[in-house]
A and B are shown apart, each in its own frame.
Chain A
Amino acid sequence: MEFVLKAHMPGLVARVVVEVGEKVEKNQELAVINCMKTEMSCLSPEAGVIKEILVAEWDEMDIGSDMIILEG
């Protein structure tokens, strides 16, 4: 079943640290948001496989912005 990693803070995407097809564990860091001059990890809500990366470096996020689609 598909699920989506959503941004948990407003800010800019600093980097995505996974690739399409990669298997990830629950709470594994998938991306990093830069806000308040601090880097904040975006953790996978569940274990799964990266299906599609929707964001690129410096994209602006708000809370709830879709970042990465995973297949559980």
Chain B
Amino acid sequence: MIKVINGGIEILVEDWPGRIGYMGLGMAAAGAMDNLALQLGNLIVGNDTGAAGLEIAGGYCEFEFTAAGVISITGADMSPTINGSNVPLWEAIAVKTGDKLKLDHIGEAGFRAYLAVRGGIDVPVYLGSRSTCLFGSYGGFEGRKLAVGDDLPALPSDGTADGIAGRKLNPKYIPAYTNVWELRAIPGPNSVPDYVSEAGMDYFFSTTMKISHNANRAAYRLEEVPAEFWARPDGGAGGSHPSNIVDHGYNMRGAINVTGNTPSILIADGPTLGGFVCVANVINADLWKIGQGIPSRDKVTFTAVTVADGIAARLERQAMFEADDLLIG
């Protein structure tokens, strides 16, 4: 269905919610970094929300379709073209054998685009998911990012594709992209007063932090916090630094882990446990924003919310997927 002509920066097969249930064995859940764009892309082409698609980080890639089908491109706008002509995002597009899809570099906002194909990408299901865990080298297409010459089939789809091409996401549901991403986060489990000072939490929830160039599918590293962040004033810079605690399991996706004075948002392929504090956790409804943060350019802010707020946001997201006016045409 899709043959890679130019593998660009990083193209991976990812589904949603990824490989759930194996963190106790040290296996991260993987899954789409921007689950919202993947799920919407799947709905546009008539798939279940969680079907496997291609996650394209950074752009600069080209594909040839080796079979006819229906696709959608969602997420970051990388000026996609088919056979040299511009094509829209957030819309079902019919493609025929031999068509060439090209994506340019990232634009003003957003780092990852998603290519959904009707039926979904056909790679083996491994432990319940088709997602690639890049740092474990398993899942997806041979456990790796795609390279020139890879040819990925699509699964057969239920029903007819008639009338699907041209179907669009209602513009009011297109996610807003930015260069300063507000992430709602629930404080804890290792926060004030035992691990982090009041001033430290105030700093955390009031400071705009730049995303480091060291930001990938395992962790999005941020700017350092000041020494006053910590409840314990002593410990120095080594193993006694106050960020060190007895090893514990990390939350799945969104944990804000601080090693030394450096916070990192643990994400798709991140570690499942370790011995550093996790001072807050980004809510499920906002995880997609992390995936669209541009390393070495974008910034994040954290807003404190409650567990109830997180649940409400998740229910609101689910209601959007089920809205009668989600798709047009």
Interface residues of A (CB under 8 A from B): 8-12, 34-38, 40, 60-63
* Stretch of B114-122, B191-199, B293-301, B303-311 that contacts chain A: B293-301
Selected contact of B213 from candidates A8, A35, A63, CB within 8 Å: A35
The proximity string for B residues 210-230 relative to A, scoring 1 for CB distances below 8 Å and 0 otherwise, is: 000111100000000000000
Asked whether, in the complex, the Cβ of A38 is within 8 Å of the Cβ of B105, the reply is no
Report the nearest A residue to B218, measured CB to CB: A37
Chain A residues within 8 Å of B297, by CB: 10, 62
Q: Given contacts A9-B9, A63-B105, A63-B106, are A37 and B214 in contact (CB under 8 A)?
A: yes
Chain A residues within 8 Å of B9, by CB: 9, 36, 40
Asked whether, in the complex, the Cβ of A10 is within 8 Å of the Cβ of B60, the reply is no
Expressed in whole angstroms, the Cα–Cα distance for A37 and B269 within the complex equals 14
Chain A residues within 8 Å of B60, by CB: 8
Asked whether, in the complex, the Cβ of B296 is within 8 Å of the Cβ of A11, the reply is yes
Expressed in whole angstroms, the Cα–Cα distance for A10 and B293 within the complex equals 12
Least distance between B137 CB and chain A CB atoms (Å): 15
A11, A12, A36, A61, most chain B CB atoms within 10 A:
A36
Chain B residues within 8 Å of A60, by CB: 213, 296
Chain B residues within 8 Å of A61, by CB: 296
Least distance between B214 CB and chain A CB atoms (Å): 5
B interface residues, tally (CB under 8 Å): 15
Asked whether, in the complex, the Cβ of A36 is within 8 Å of the Cβ of B106, the reply is no
Expressed in whole angstroms, the Cα–Cα distance for A60 and B210 within the complex equals 13
Expressed in whole angstroms, the Cα–Cα distance for A7 and B10 within the complex equals 17
Least distance between A50 CB and chain B CB atoms (Å): 23
Expressed in whole angstroms, the Cα–Cα distance for A35 and B211 within the complex equals 11
Report the nearest A residue to B107, measured CB to CB: A63
Expressed in whole angstroms, the Cα–Cα distance for A37 and B9 within the complex equals 12
Give 7 new A-B contacts, CB below 8 A, not counting A36-B9, A36-B214, A36-B215. A9-B58, A10-B213, A10-B297, A35-B213, A36-B57, A38-B10, A38-B216
Leading 5 A-B pairs by shortest Cβ distance: A10-B296, A36-B216, A11-B213, A10-B297, A35-B213
B9, B213, B295, most chain A CB atoms within 10 A:
B213
Least distance between A2 CB and chain B CB atoms (Å): 22
